[in-house]
Structure 1
């Protein structure tokens, strides 16, 4: 028997070529969508958001700390400006003149208190950043001075101005020697607190840009270092200055002037300063660790290992599909895929 030759349809061959080119285009399109979609969430098969998740969380923590610092520094700044709750109990320093006349004086205690008031003195004076308030133990605060910028507490001037004409009071000699130092320190503290609260507030909104590059973090670290330095310096100045003032004012034997530091104010300003310093340390660490988006794009640093999953590895492991044409007697042809 003579073998009959087989003929291949040109039309079928054309269709096969079109099918092959269409399948290749579909494969390329699918590959492009997998590796570089238009939404920007992947770059060359890497999930940028997931790769920089550690850095993102650190920045969120720093923003929270800056917000916390701003809140407590504001409480420090507005302390003692009026007689409203919380504000009236927030002060740096309290001067207590209740026992100005010694208790050993042979007189009735009621008469002693009325005598002290007749001199024009109040039972206590408490100091804030902007002003001072005065009052009596049984009545509370009766008056607060007008807030003024660069305020500093001068107890000699206040007490002497409130005494009636001709009345005098013996004050420790050391107080006059440190008044100039108190004035300079108070002016520095005032400026540092205001600058610190402003820079911390700005840092809340600037911090997220550090997710894009470690180079951007460098100027931000310098900016936040200044903020942390000012707030910490202000807290140190306030603590040291009023502690020394307390020791000096109570060192005079027989004068019976009491003095105390405001625990609420100290807590507020140190929480604010501490939060600012910790946030700065976080951004200092971000200079050398935790991959940024720019690092991941350029391959300088690898982020989270879970960001380099299926999208990047599946393309390498994807099997190669070949299309072959099998001859068939008659019209048309058939195709098959071999993996």
Structure 2
């Protein structure tokens, strides 16, 4: 058993750590261009996004917008004009999908519903999606038109996105370290203890990153829905991306539990060890005396029963005590 049992005990958290690492890599590759500004190379990469804005059904008719707005609120004609100009210049696309380090945009066939990504931004650390810049409305009156709620929310998003990007990078590094250090846990419980410490740190950052991403993009979705919904701009969160992210967190928590269990269990030592005692070579063993009938184990009577010598000294209890040698 021994080392085999120890290896079996370590195999489970190792596989869970590997699964967590793969999930986090997938999350970080979502909406990442393959070459240059081309679309992601896989269908999975195209479908993984935190946030999506669908502008394919945007409404530019003031009367239609007025029907969707609360009473006493008029549609902003300046915003409509700016959006119309952006749409006519082909700068406004049908949809925008936001990943961790980049975003992708594309066209949508309203008849079939098929979406085609036409452009992805270059990967950028501490990336955040700025719709006014992407739609060509940066440094215009539209920023003021959208209101303080929209501006405040997007500014908070830009700041938090920087920390969130760092958190995901740290998680990826710690997960890799956890997997490598985990090999040393096969040999001793000390290795399991070190791996458990690394796993705990990784789980903390993983939870922080996942909670931040979920809360952040839920807030952005809410802002888009409240401010831009009257213009028929839809906003949604990516269910596949969030599912993959929280699956990675679940793997992280599970691996940490099993790493901790391996500190207390599965020592790797054999439960039964046989102790073999060999005789020392060239030892001597007492044999029976031929003078007393060859019966071994009989002891001679005490010297007091023998006549004393003339010198008043007692003689030895036995006169003959041969030994045999054993090699």
Scaled by the length of structure 1, the TM-score of the pair is 0.64
2:56 alignment partner, SS class: coil
Which of the residues 240, 244, 249 maps onto 1:264? 240
What is the aligned partner in structure 2 of residue 117 from structure 1?
A: 87
Structure 1's 159 and 171: CA in aligned 2 closer, same or farther, altered over 3 A? farther
Is the aligned partner of 1:132 residue 2:103?
Answer: yes
Classify the secondary structure of the residue corresponding to 1:251. Answer: helix
In structure 1, distance between residues paired with 2:24 and 2:248 = 5
* Residue of structure 1 aligned with 2:27, choices 54, 72, 76: 76
CA distance in 1, matches of 2:215, 2:167: 15
- 2:168 paired residue among 193, 204, 223: 193
Equivalent in the alignment of 2:188? 213
After TM superposition, list the pairs within 5 Å mapping 1:236-275 onto structure 2. Answer: 236-252=211-227, 254-275=230-251
Instruction: Look up the match of 1:155.
Output: 131
User: Is residue 49 from structure 1 mapped to residue 3 from structure 2 by the alignment?
Assistant: yes
Structure 2 unpaired stretches of 5+:
34-38, 66-82, 110-114, 278-284, 291-327
**Which residue of structure 2 lines up, in the alignment, with residue 143 of structure 1?**
119
1:94-146 deviation per Cα after TM superposition (whole angstroms, max 9, x unaligned): 0111232168749xxxxxx9987315311111101111111111251111111
Q: Is the 8 A contact 2:86 2:136 kept in 1?
A: no
Q: Which residues of structure 1 form unaligned runs of 5+?
A: 1-46, 107-112, 297-302, 317-321, 328-339
Q: Please say which of residues 97-106 and 185-194 is displaced more in the overlay.
A: 97-106
Q: 1:153 & 1:168 partners in 2: Cα distance?
A: 15
Cα 1:133–1:172 shift into 2, 3 Å: farther
How far off is 1:172 after superposition?
Answer: 4.8
CA distance in structure 2 between the aligned counterparts of 1:79 and 1:150, rounded to whole angstroms:
15
**Residue from 80, 88, 94 that aligns with 2:52:** 94
User: Relative contact order, CA 8 A, sep 6+: which one is greater?
Assistant: 1
Shift of 1:162: 8.3
Query: 1:219 deviation in Å?
Result: 2.8
Secondary structure of the residue aligned to 2:195 is: helix
Q: Distance in 2 between matches of 1:153 and 1:200?
A: 27
Q: CA deviation at 1:182?
A: 0.9
Counterparts of 1:250 and 1:136 in 2: how far apart (Å)?
21
Larger Rg, first or second structure (1 or 2): 2
- C-alpha deviation, 1:57, in angstroms: 2.3
Match of 2:303 in 1: none
Partner Cα distance (1:80, 1:250) in 2: 22
Q: What secondary structure sits across from 2:57 in the alignment?
A: coil
CA contact (8 A) 1:232 1:274 kept: no
Give the paired residue count.
Answer: 251
Task: Assess if the C-alpha contact under 8 Å between 2:50 and 2:217 holds in 1.
Answer: yes
The alpha carbon displacement at 1:92 in A equals: 0.9
* 1:265, distance to aligned residue in structure 2 (A): 1.1
Q: Distance in 1 between matches of 2:211 and 2:143?
A: 34
The alpha-carbon deviation at position 263 of structure 1 amounts to: 1.6
SS in 1 for 2:226: coil
Go from structure 1 to structure 2 and tell me whether the alpha carbon gap of 1:167 and 1:243 turns closer, same or farther (over 3 Å shift): closer
Q: Deviations over 1:24-69 (max 9, x none)?
A: xxxxxxxxxxxxxxxxxxxxxxx5325xx1x432311111011111
Corresponding residue for 2:262?
286
TM-superposed deviation, 1:208: 2.9
- Give RMSD over aligned pairs: 3.4
Between the aligned partners of 2:119 and 2:3, the Cα distance in structure 1 is: 56
